[in-house]
Amino acid sequence: MGFLEVKDLKVHFPIKGGIFGRTVDHVKAVDGVSFTLEKGKTYGLVGESGSGKSTTGRAIIGLNKITSGNVTFEGNDITANNRSRASFRKDIQMIFQDPYSSLNPKKRVIDLVAEPLRNFEKLSRKEERIRVQELLELVGLSPESILKYPHEFSGGQRQRIGIARAVALKPKLIIADEPVSALDVSVQAQVLNFMQEIQNELDLTYLFISHDLGVIKHMCDHIGIMYKGRFVEEGTANEIFESPQHIYTKRLVAAIPEIDPHKREELKKFRLEVNTEYEQAYNDYFDEEGLAYGLKPISDTHLVALPEKG
C-alpha cells in the first residue's frame, strides 16, 4: 500500500454551448493518470503547459473536481469532496506557482501564516504569535516582519512565506505546483535547496510539478512525464534521464541545456538526431488523435506508453 495512490484519475472540463448553454463537449485535461508516491520521496510531474500536470495536482488536493478515478492517501479514499476528505486536509498542503497572487495582498504576514492554524488548531494569541515566528525563522525570514504586508517582500521571500504557511500544520504531503518558475534563476536554487532541507527536517513527501526538467532532475526520485493529459513515461530519475524510451521524453531530455562547452557540439548533434527520430516515429508513439498509448512496464519501475504491438 503506497503513501499516495492515484488510480486512473480523470478530470474533464465541460464546454458549454448552444442555445441553452448545454454541455456540448469536454476538455480532457487529465485523462487516465495513475501513479504511486512513497513516503519521504519526491515525485516529479513534468510536461509542457496544458499537459494536465497542474490539474492533476489540484485534483488531488480538491481544487478541481475529479471526473472519475481514485485517490488514496495512507490507505483512505479521499476522492470524494466530503467530510472524510476534510480530515486529511491538514495532511496535504500546496505551494503555489505565483508568489504574488497566492498571498492575499490585504493581509499581514502573521494573518497569512496563521490562517491554517486558526482553521485547525485553537491557539491563544500569544501561542499563535510564537508559532508564526518559529515558522518564519524556519523558512529563513526575520520574525520581526510578522506585521508587514506581502508587497514588502521579494518574490523569493514571498515564496518562503507560502512555504511557511504550507508547513504550518505539519503536513505529510506537499504538492508543489511550479514553486520556483516565477522566481529569478538566482533565487530558484536557494528555494529548491531550502525545500530539500525542510523535507528532511519535517519528513515531508513532495509531489513536485514543473515544466523544467533541470529542476525536476535536481529534486525528484521518481518522475512521470505527461502529454495531453496522459503519462507517456514513468520511472526513477535515473531511468528517465539515462535511458528515456519514449520519443517525447527523449526530446525533452535532449533539450536540457549543457553547461560544459566541450559537449555542446555533441549535444547539438544528438538533438538533431532526436528531432529527426521524433518526426519520423511520431505515428508509432501516438494514436490517431495524437494522444499517448497506455503504459507498458519495461522494468519494475520503468513504464512507457507504447502501442499494443510495439
Binding residue for another protein (CB under 8 A) from 133, 205, 245, 249?
133
For 166, residues 6+ apart whose C-beta sits below 8 A from its C-beta are 93, 94, 95, 174
**Residue 271 in contact with another protein, rule: CB under 8 A:** no
In whole angstroms, the minimum distance from the beta carbon of 107 to another protein comes to: 8
How is residue 292 annotated by DSSP?
Answer: B
Cell numbers given for 190: 536557494
The answer to whether residues 23 and 14 touch, using CB atoms and an 8 Å cutoff, is yes
- Is residue 86 a contact point for another protein (CB under 8 A)? yes
Distance in Å, CB of 183 to another protein, minimum: 15
Here the cell at position 126 is: 500569544
Angle subtended at Cα 295 by Cα 11 and Cα 212, rounded to the nearest 5 degrees: 70
Restricting to residues 159-198, which ones interact with another protein according to CB under 8 A?
162, 165
Of 76, 84, 119, 299, the one binding another protein by CB under 8 A: 119
Shortest distance (Å) from residue 105 CB to another protein: 7
Contacts (CB under 8 A) with another protein, residues 8-37: 18-20
Please pick, from the candidates 7, 28, 41, 89, the single residue that binds another protein as defined by CB under 8 A.
89
Concatenating the DSSP letter of every residue in 130-177 gives HHHHHHHHHTT--GGGGGS-GGGS-HHHHHHHHHHHHHTT--SEEEEE
Q: Pick one of 74, 115, 128, 221: the residue that binds another protein (CB under 8 A).
A: 115
CB of 297 within 8 A of CB of 234?
no
* C-alpha dihedral sign at 248, 206, 37, 10: negative
The smaller minimum CB distance to another protein, of residues 106 and 122, is found at: 106
Among 15, 24, 130, 202, binds another protein (CB under 8 A): 130
Shortest separation between residue 143's beta carbon and another protein, angstroms:
6
Distance from C-alpha of 141 to C-alpha of 85, rounded to nearest angstrom: 32
Taking CB under 8 A as the criterion, the residue among 147, 288, 289, 300 binding another protein is: 147
Q: Which residues bind another protein (CB under 8 A)?
A: 18-20, 58, 61-63, 86, 89-90, 92-94, 96-98, 101-108, 115-116, 119-120, 130, 133-134, 137, 142-149, 151-152, 162, 165
